[in-house]
Amino acid sequence: MSLPKVHEIPIGGIITEPGSSRRNLTGGWRSLKPIIHDDRCIRCRICWMYCPEGTIKETKGEFVVKGRKYQYKYEIDYNYCKGCGICAHECPTKAIEMVPEA
C-alpha cells in the first residue's frame, strides 16, 4: 500500500472524516480469542466496561439460559477484538475463556 505524500495529507494531521478508525480492523492482531460461556455469565457488564476497544456488544431481548431469564446478552465483535484478555481477567465468574486462534 502506498501512503499519501506530504501534499496529499490534510495539514495539521487532521482527520477530516469521522469514524475512520472503523476501517482499521484490528481483529487480525489476535493470537488468543475470548469465548463467552453464556451459561456462566451473570450479566454484570464488567467485560463491557473494561474492554479497551469497545468490542463487547450488548444485545437487548429475552434470553433464557438454564431456566433463568435475562434481558441482555453479551457477544464479542471479533472484527475489532485484539485478544488482549482483559475481559477474561476481569470476569468474576470466569465465564470468558481465552482459546488459541484456529
Interacting residue ranges for another protein, rule: CB under 8 A: 3-6, 9-18, 20
Comparison of 13 and 67: residue with beta carbon closer to another protein: 13
Q: Which amino acid is at 90?
A: E
CB of 82 vs another protein, minimal distance in Å: 16
What CA–CA distance (Å, rounded) separates 41 from 48? 12
CB of 8 vs another protein, minimal distance in Å: 9
CB of 50 vs another protein, minimal distance in Å: 22
Name the grid cell of 47.
467485560
Comparison of 11 and 102: residue with beta carbon closer to another protein: 11
Is 87 exposed, middle or buried (CB count within 10 Å of its CB: 0-12, 13-18, 19+)? buried
